[in-house]
Chains A and B, each alone.
Chain A
């Protein structure tokens, strides 16, 4: 399948809107996720306090990120982990391919990691001659289909079970069935052999605890536990923003993340991994490598507004709440991270030039801000990015001029009076901007202004 580009969001969205199967799948998934999130949040009496606390912790970390990363590294290394630093995707992939090559790893199992989607790690490993298998059920489905994830926590959300059944029949030789339990057990059986044979396991990281050097990974399926327990080497990829100060801070984040993501009080498994095993006869990998990735993140620290983008814990709640995502799904964004948070992060990671349409993929309704467990002001960030687009080469000179005039008019009572009078006359003869009116009504300007009405009624 052709991967879509962020540069053509408008066309991608139109195509998605015409896909009734996709829209059915999205409607079902996003409304169910939203309902479960609300129920889970309501099960706690101090939800708002938790959000405030989580944001305060993230703000504290980000303001001293260098120090927390150094503490995390020192503590992880004290416990036997090897920490690597990667400035960008290419360097991260180089480090990981190098580790796999040196240890003669042929088969690699992977658990779901948006960060490795961002670095296109699978392509790099395959180019280096290694076999890499995604083991999260949703990721496995899209790997078989040669697609990309369309949701941060439910990668195959855009597919119906009928489509998945067809895929499994064609690629795994499964007898045709649309029974979800049967589909799941087919994947389980196929992937068990891969786990048993794997030389290396690659995972992401949800939280890196500076105080202890611990990495914490949450999941439901058990594939992360297998990935991080069975192979002799475990490589964990972690964005610089994943670090949190204290172990006790996990209380707040482990309450917010599963409730916001899937609506669970806790996901089935939390793995707390601190360095390597103590005795050779213990269970678990011999080596733990943690790759810390920047890839454009440190730039976002330069302003309080953009800095908050790094507070994101990747729960996916803003995707489910977004009226745009609900209609067009993740692929239309043409970016690794879709939805409102994707529209905010992607332009900052890869540059506004190639992503100029993304900040406009929003009605600015504020639903994303409302559900965000760390209170990221996504609408404000989108406006900030829109301003950047408008000021840049992709900006429209006409638009800039119109708004300059608008500002002048709105600041002067006499110009405003003149302007509304002119508008009243003009609206009869001239259709207003088609970009605005093709998708919505524009209320006509009233025949009399409020001031005129007041004057006629009270004579002043």
Chain B
């Protein structure tokens, strides 16, 4: 018997030996409660911005994305810029100052970006450079986590890699003192595009 069968039959054997559960019924409780979605107190864009800023991110709401990006890059004095359309190789990307990517969706309640790897090559551009600039359409902002989960799992399909990003990289491993920028970006700029959609 191989290990797979050994483990599975051990599971079956021990479950079969189990006396009935007096505390919890063994009926499958698959009823997933419809999440109660309270109406957002302000607009989704405002709520999203507030929550991005609450986790130490910067958030710019604009109709002119290219101007916003240019200003950030100029202010930073960044030289090497990785863009997710044509990202540098895994070896080169460590030399870059800024990574610019899109985000396919966002979650207002938590200030979270949703990056879907099937749509863009942004796994490394959003991670390795010390600054990450992400652009998301205002119309792609959901209110809740549940909506975003449903969005990345449409028609039963899901991309090989989906990443949720909430603020810049952080740690509290030393005396629970917050330190921003451990392995991922030290700064996160989120640009909410209120102009015409930039995707495709």
Measured CA separation A458–B174 after assembly (Å)? 66
Residues 259-277 (chain A) with a chain B CB within 8 angstroms? 262, 265-277
Among A57, A135, A214, residue most surrounded by chain B Cβ atoms (within 10 Å): A214
Asked if residues A277 and B149 are in contact (CB atoms below 8 Å), the reply is: no
Interface size class, chain A? 35 or more
Q: In the complex the two chains form, is A225's CB within 8 Å of B184's CB?
A: yes
- Total A-B residue pairs with C-beta atoms closer than 8 Å? 247
**Contact at A299–B173, with CB atoms within 8 Å?**
no
Min CB–CB distance A368 → chain B (angstroms): 17
Q: Which of A164, A191, A301 has a CB less than 8 Å from the CB of B15? A: A301
The 0/1 profile, CB within 8 Å of A marked 1, for residues 154-174 of chain B is 001011111111111111111
Q: A269 contacts B172, CB within 8 Å?
A: no
Q: Residue A156 at the B interface, CB < 8 A?
A: yes
Cα distance A268–B110 in the bound complex, in angstroms:
10
A247 touches B168 (CB 8 A): no
Residue A399 at the chain B interface, CB threshold 8 Å = no
Interface string of A10-40 (1 = CB under 8 A from B): 0000000000000001001100110000000
B176 to chain A, nearest CB (A): 5
Q: Is A414 an interface residue (CB 8 A)?
A: no
Stretch of A79-87, A330-338, A349-357, A386-394 with 4 or more beta carbons under 8 angstroms from chain B: A79-87
A60 touching B28 by the CB < 8 A rule?
yes
A63 touches B15 (CB 8 A): yes
A298 touches B7 (CB 8 A): yes
With a cutoff of 8 Å between Cβ atoms, the chain B residues found around residue A271 in the complex are 161-163
Question: Contact partner of B167 among A46, A157, A226, A268, CB < 8 A?
Answer: A268
Report the Cα distance A267→B168, complex, angstroms.
11
Residues of the B chain whose Cβ atoms lie less than 8 Å from the Cβ of A71: none
A66–B12 touching, CB < 8 Å: yes
Residues from chain B with Cβ under 8 Å of A240 in the complex = 7, 11
Known: A223-B182, A225-B163, A304-B21. 19 other contacts (CB 8 A): A32-B176, A33-B176, A59-B26, A64-B28, A66-B8, A86-B3, A154-B172, A156-B173, A180-B174, A184-B171, A188-B183, A196-B91, A196-B94, A251-B145, A265-B110, A275-B160, A277-B161, A283-B121, A301-B18
Q: Taking beta carbons and an 8 Å cutoff, which residues of A are in contact with B?
A: 25, 28-29, 32-33, 46, 49, 53, 55-57, 59-60, 63-66, 69-70, 79, 84-87, 91, 135-138, 141, 154-157, 159-161, 164, 180-181, 183-185, 187-188, 191-192, 195-196, 211-212, 214, 220-223, 225-226, 229-230, 240, 245-251, 254-255, 262, 265-278, 282-284, 292, 294, 298-304, 307, 377
Interface, chain B (partner A; CB < 8 A): 2-4, 6-8, 10-12, 14-15, 17-24, 26, 28-30, 32-33, 35-36, 55, 87, 90-91, 94, 109-110, 112, 117-118, 121, 123-124, 127-128, 145-146, 149-150, 152-153, 156, 158-177, 179, 181-185
